[in-house]
Structure 1
Amino acid sequence: MNWVAALPMYNVTPALAADWRVLLDHVHRRLRPWLDARGDTLALVDPETSLHDFWLRDDLLLSQTCGYPLVKALAGRVQLVTTPVFTVDGGASGNYHSVLVARAAANVTSLAQCRGHRAAYNTPDSNSGMNLLRSAVAPLAGGRPFFASMIETGGHLASLQALQDNRADVAAIDCVSFAFVLGHLPHLASGLVQIGTTQSAPGLPLIASKRVPAEGIEALVGALADAVAHDRPLAKRLKLDGFARRPLADYTGILDIETDAVERGYPRLA
């Protein structure tokens, strides 16, 4: 098998994209005995199709997705490999949350005060940008639309830019992405205030095709752990503290977050 791999989710800047590629290079080297024994190869690629299509490739050895599609569109169609543990607030044990940020000019200090304001979110299938925000709003909404308007931006960086451009007032940003923004793209956080955080959820998982055998999954887990342990400067730049073997059942809690919002009469972010 000619396998492919890519880690597309936290490529906040070209420098960080290069560092994630270095991590994959380390993993590739450590996987060579397993690959060679099978007569397999591995290519590190940039996804040329939609991420959803890329995640469903039969030849996918390793990639990263969001927990929401993992238990929705990808359910039963990919394998969970492991979950990164990040050295950011809320990142213990492979968890994460979203940071609620608002334009300082909006003069709000809490999500409750954002009723009637404009919200930005990245994509409808995002746990961090949509599902967790919907969950935070649901108890406040009373079964009615909460925001004056919504804008779908396509990504967390674009949501922050929408706040900067005065096209939106509030957004929920994955805490890992926001930590990278503060360190690498501080202009996107300028003039913004943090008004809270969402509840926690399991972090963005690493996945593989269903065609990867069990010993291949174990080889990947070992290679990832070794790569982080042996290149600590790289791990520090990527804010990686290792990986957690979270059971798939942990991720079904993301569906419970969705269900709770629906039962509160707030099935759609609005």
Structure 2
Amino acid sequence: MSPWIASLPMYNVTPQHAVSWRSLLSDCLDAFARAVGPAEVAIVDAPEGDLLQHWRRNDLLLSQTCGFPYRMLGLARAVHLIATPLFDAPGCEGPRYRSALVVSAQAWQRGATTVAACRGLRAACNSADSHSGMNALRHAVAPHACDGRFFSSVHWTGSHAATLHALASGTADMGAIDCVTLALLRDAHPERLEGLRIIGMTASAPGLPLIASRSLEANHAEALRDALVAAHAADAERARKLRLRGFARLTPDAYDEIADIANSAAQQGYAAVR
């Protein structure tokens, strides 16, 4: 096989979690090599800038993306859908997840106890190509928007952790946080969530898909799916720390729900978070 790269960039919420995800990936690649023969694979850190370009690489053996770029930005046409994780976290049901609608302590004290009551507040969002931080939030507030606007301002933070920091510091009032990220951070650093309040959950959607380049042969993609199952079973304590229960095998059209959620907001006159 040609040289490949692999990465798991999406749930490295602490350095300790990053080590565990890298360990899981290493075990997966070992199981994959046992099944298909020696494979030259470099485990890499995904670039902080253009992840979409990283996910489109022809030498990408395995990575994890968000449902929004997978379905809405054309990534599905360039990759194999390998699997979708199953997590043990509040807001997850099987391979599906939600985002928690979180408000700052100050906003809560001023009466921001429902989504409707958050109209005119300051939003914090991780990125414009995120389902959990943008698309799900847009869908949640769309019924309460007026003339295509709901928030007084929108601050793009770059990550869910940075959104939580903006809420905790009082520089933003409301945001949507991936429920898996929230659970992992609560396990590791509960102090970061002190004073923050969850006022609801967004609509359920398929979880963050594991992908491989379309240049990978179909039988090798199937071996990769089996290797993920083997890696999960190899270390029960690691799986517990990652809140990982296993993997589901969805079809690509399962992610059409991401588009349905985006279209629903647009049909209500709320095409962008603002």
Given the two structures, how large is their TM-score scaled by the length of structure 2? 0.95
1:50 aligned partner = 50
In the TM superposition, residue 86 of structure 1 has moved relative to its aligned partner by: 0.1
**1:153·1:159 contact (CA, 8 Å) conserved in 2?**
yes
The 1:218/1:75 distance shift into structure 2, 3 A limit, reads: closer
Quote how far apart the aligned CAs of 1:185 are: 2.1
Deviation of the 1:89 alpha carbon: 1.8
1:265 aligns with 2:230: no
Counterpart position of 2:17: 16
Shift of 1:35: 4.5
Listed one character per residue, the Cα deviations across residues 225-270 of structure 1 (whole Å, up to 9, x for unaligned) are 1111221111101100000111111101110111111110000111
Q: How far apart are 1:72 and its partner, in Å? A: 1.9
Corresponding letter in the other structure for 1:97: R
Deviates more, 1:97-106 or 1:180-189: 180-189
How far 1:204 moved relative to its partner?
A: 0.3
Question: What percentage of aligned pairs have identical amino acids?
Answer: 46
TM superposition shift of 1:40: 3.3
| Structure 1 pair 33–230 and aligned structure 2 pair: CA distance change class (3 A) | closer
1:228 aligned to which of 226, 229, 232: 232
Equivalent-residue separation in structure 2 for 1:13 and 1:24 (angstroms): 17
Tell me what 1:119 maps to.
Answer: 123
The AA in structure 1 aligned to 2:236 is R
SS in 2 for 1:26: helix
- Residue 64 of structure 1 aligns with which residue? 64
Deviations 1:116-137 (A, max 9, x none): 1111000000000000000001
- Equivalences for 1:70-219 in 2 at 5 Å? 70-73=70-73, 74-106=75-107, 107=109, 108-219=112-223
Indicate conservation of the 8 Å contact 1:142/1:264, yes or no: no
Deviates more, 1:251-260 or 1:105-114: 105-114
Gaps of 5+ in 1: none
Contact residue 126 and residue 134 of structure 2 kept, 8 A: yes
Q: Work out the CA distance in 2 between the residues paired with 1:156 and 1:90.
A: 16
Cα offsets for 1:6-31 (capped at 9, x unmatched): 10000001000000011011111111
Q: Secondary structure in 1 aligned to 2:225?
A: helix
3-state SS in 1 of match to 2:63:
strand
TM-score where L is the length of structure 1: 0.96
The answer to whether the Cα contact below 8 Å between 1:143 and 1:264 also exists between their aligned partners in 2 is no
1:166 Cα shift? Answer: 1.4
Q: For residues 191 and 101 of structure 2, what CA distance do their matches in structure 1 show? A: 17
Q: Distance in 2 between matches of 1:176 and 1:156?
A: 11
Deviation >3 Å, runs of 4+: none
Contact kept, 8 Å, 1:104 with 1:192, in 2: the verdict is yes
| Structure 2: distance between partners of 1:35 and 1:53 | 27
CA distance in 2, matches of 1:165, 1:83: 34
Matching residue's letter, 2:82 = V
2:148, 2:271 within 8 Å by CA — same for their partners in 1? no
The Cα RMSD (Å) is 1.2
- Partner Cα separation in structure 2 for residue 178 and residue 130 of structure 1: 16
Report 1:243-258 matches (<5 A). Answer: 243-258=247-262
